[in-house]
C-alpha cells in the first residue's frame, strides 16, 4: 500500500456475514451470528437497526466530524443550532463526531450545561479539536493537550481522541501521554514529525510556519485513508505497528468545501454547500465501496467546520443521496469513537 502504511495483520479465515436482519431459522443455525445477524465479535451501536452492521465484513462505515470553531461569540443562537443539527442527524439515523475547540465548550454552561451530554445521548460522540499551534517542547505539548482532554471530559462526555494536534514534535507520543487513544483529521502538517527518510515523495522539504500553511488532507487517496492503523511514534507514524498506542483514523475532505478543495487543493477558502459537493461526496463513497476489504475495518468520514452553517435543505439532499446505500446495508453511520472501538475488536482476531 502507498504512504508507507505497512499492514501487519493475518487474514481471518472465518466466514463472516455482512447482511443484517437474518431470518430466524438462519439465526438459529449460525452460532457465529449474534443478535441482529452480525458476526460474533462485531461492535454494535445499541440502536438495534441496520447501522449495527457497521463493523461487519464488507460494510463501509461512514462518518462526519464537526469542528466546533470559528464562530465567536458562541451565543445561544449557535448553541441552539448545534442542538438542532444533532436532532436532524438523529432523525435520519446519522451520527456526528463533534470536535469542539476550548473556547467553544467554555460557552456550554448554565442553562446549556447539558448540551453535550444530551447530544451524546442521541448517539453522537465527542473529541477535542486541539488547534494547539506549535508547542516549544514535548512536555508543554502534553500539558496543554492533557488539560484540553480533562476540560472536555468534565462536560460529562467520553473523550477518546483528538484532532488538530499535529506538529513537528512527536505528536504521537505526546497524544498517548495525554491520554488519547486515537487521532482524526490528519493533514500535511502531521508529516512534519516524520524523520527525513520516512517522508513521502514530494514532501521531503516540507515547511509549515503555522498549521494553516499545511492544511491539505493527508493521506491523499481514498485507498490510503480507508483502513485504520496503529502509530508508535511520530517519526514513522505512517507505518502500522501492532504495539502502537495511537490509532490513526484518516479523514476525507471538508463536506461543504469539496468543490473548492478540488479547484484549489490544500488551500483554505470560503465555501458554499452545494449539489456539487454532494455529487463529489458520492463519487468518493463509490470509490471507497469499490475498495472495501472484507478482512479489514473500512471507514470513510468527511469533515465540516461549524463555523459555517449548512442549510437543512442541502443536508436533506445529502441524506437522500445516502439513503439507498444505507438501505442496502453497504454503508452504515458510525461515530469515530465507534470506529475506534470496532477496530480494537477487529484486532483481536486479525493481529
pLDDT in tens, 218-246: 999 999 999 999 999 999 999 999 999 99
pLDDT at 22 (0 to 100): 35
| Other beta carbons within 10 Å of 82 | 23
CA distance 26 to 32: 11
pLDDT at 266 (0 to 100): 65
- Cα–Cα distances (Å) from 167 to 142, 215, 239, 246, in that order, read 13, 12, 18, 16
pLDDT at 52 (0 to 100): 42
- Could you tell me which residues come within 8 angstroms of residue 153 by beta carbon, excluding any fewer than 6 positions away? 159
- Which residues of the chain are under the pLDDT cut of 50? 1-54
Phi, psi of 32 (to 5 degrees): -75, -15
pLDDT at 268 (0 to 100): 65
What is the reported pTM? 0.84
Domains in the chain: ranges and CATH: 47-350 (3.20.20.370)
Q: Can you read off the three cell numbers belonging to residue 5?
A: 502504511
Sequence-ordered strand ranges (E) for 91-237: 96-100, 125-129, 159-163, 182-184, 229-231
Angle among Cα 89, 185, 204 to the nearest 5 degrees reads: 160
pLDDT at 113 (0 to 100): 98
CA distance 35 to 42: 10
Q: Which of 156, 225, 188, 184 is nearest to 99 (CA)?
A: 184
pLDDT in tens, 111-157: 999 999 999 999 999 999 999 888 999 999 999 999 999 999 999 99
Amino acid at each position: 500500500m502507498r504512504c508507507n502504511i505497512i499492514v501487519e495483520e493475518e487474514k481471518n479465515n472465518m466466514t463472516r456475514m455482512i447482511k443484517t436482519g437474518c431470518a430466524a431459522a438462519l439465526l438459529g443455525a449460525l452460532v457465529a451470528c449474534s443478535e441482529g445477524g452480525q458476526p460474533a465479535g462485531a461492535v454494535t451501536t445499541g440502536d438495534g437497526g441496520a447501522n449495527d452492521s457497521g463493523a461487519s465484513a464488507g460494510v463501509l462505515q461512514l462518518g462526519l466530524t464537526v469542528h466546533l470553531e470559528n464562530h465567536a461569540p458562541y451565543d445561544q443562537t449557535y448553541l441552539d443550532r448545534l442542538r438542532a443539527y444533532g436532532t436532524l442527524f438523529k432523525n435520519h439515523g446519522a451520527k456526528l463526531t463533534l470536535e469542539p475547540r476550548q473556547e467553544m465548550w467554555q460557552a456550554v454552561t448554565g442553562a446549556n450545561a447539558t448540551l453535550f451530554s444530551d447530544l451524546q445521548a442521541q448517539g453522537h460522540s465527542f473529541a477535542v479539536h486541539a488547534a494547539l499551534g506549535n508547542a516549544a517542547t514535548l512536555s508543554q505539548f502534553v500539558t496543554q493537550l492533557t488539560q484540553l482532554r480533562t476540560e472536555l471530559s468534565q462536560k460529562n462526555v467520553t473523550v477518546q481522541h483528538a484532532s488538530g494536534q499535529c506538529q513537528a514534535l512527536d505528536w504521537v507520543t505526546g497524544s498517548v501521554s495525554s491520554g488519547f487513544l486515537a487521532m482524526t483529521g490528519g493533514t500535511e502538517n502531521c508529516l512534519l514529525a516524520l524523520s527525513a527518510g520516512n517522508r513521502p515523495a514530494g514532501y521531503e522539504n516540507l515547511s509549515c510556519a503555522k498549521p494553516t500553511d499545511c492544511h491539505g488532507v493527508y493521506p491523499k487517496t481514498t485507498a490510503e485513508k480507508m483502513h485504520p492503523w496503529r502509530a508508535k511514534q511520530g517519526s514513522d507514524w505512517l507505518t502500522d505497528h501492532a504495539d502502537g498506542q495511537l490509532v490513526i483514523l484518516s479523514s476525507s475532505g471538508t463536506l461543504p468545501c469539496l468543490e473548492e478543495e478540488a479547484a484549489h487543493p490544500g488551500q483554505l477558502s470560503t465555501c458554499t454547500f452545494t449539489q456539487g459537493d454532494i455529487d463529489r461526496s458520492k463519487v468518493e463513497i463509490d470509490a471507497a465501496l469499490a475498495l472495501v476489504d472484507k478482512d479489514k475495518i473500512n471507514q470513510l468520514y468527511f469533515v465540516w467546520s461549524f463555523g459555517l452553517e449548512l442549510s437543512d435543505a442541502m443536508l436533506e439532499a445529502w441524506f437522500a443521496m445516502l439513503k439507498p446505500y444505507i438501505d442496502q446495508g453497504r454503508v452504515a453511520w458510525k461515530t469515530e469513537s465507534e470506529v475506534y472501538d470496532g477496530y480494537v475488536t477487529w484486532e483481536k482476531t486479525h493481529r
